[in-house]
Amino acid sequence: MDEAKFKKQLRASFLAQTALAQGYEWPVTDPFRTGTADFFLAVRGCVMACEAKHMKELPVRENSRVLDHPVSMEQYRFLRRYQESGSPSFVLIGVGKDAAAYTNRIQLNYTKKELMFLPRLQRLGKDLWDMGPLITIMADHNKTWQPYLNLPADAHANTP
């Protein structure tokens, strides 16, 4: 599996598992996308930025870096600022065909030792991943979300 296929599977899995909640996903396909996340997932008012990386196999040594193409400095800044604004952002790391991990600890790269302790996404089928852990994070984040926070009661009186 390559990185593009891994991203497509993650997005399709999210849509399949949030269909009743009207989940929405969109990849960033604009050729000028310096620093933005690979794709965004949204459900019930919560929007999560996701940077997905994939590698064919793990390195042998525990202290070896796992990403052949690390998170760029621009992506790092974007994901950290996104978190600082109060929205969730994650790095999703696929290994081979059957393993994936996720973290909201944004770094340029990760060691094999760090990767081994990250929470996992389970493979459900040929092209399907269990996105439940990320959906749960979004739902929990959403409990504190309130639309139009700090606006006066009549702020939308002139809205069509």
pLDDT in tens, 79-120: 999 999 888 999 999 999 889 999 999 999 999 999 999 999
Q: What is the CA radius of gyration of the chain?
A: 17
Element at 43 (helix H, strand E): strand 39-43
pLDDT at 147 over 70: no
Q: Which domains does the chain have, with CATH numbers?
A: 3-139 (3.40.1350.10)
**pTM recorded for the entire structure:** 0.83
Reported residue count of the chain is 160
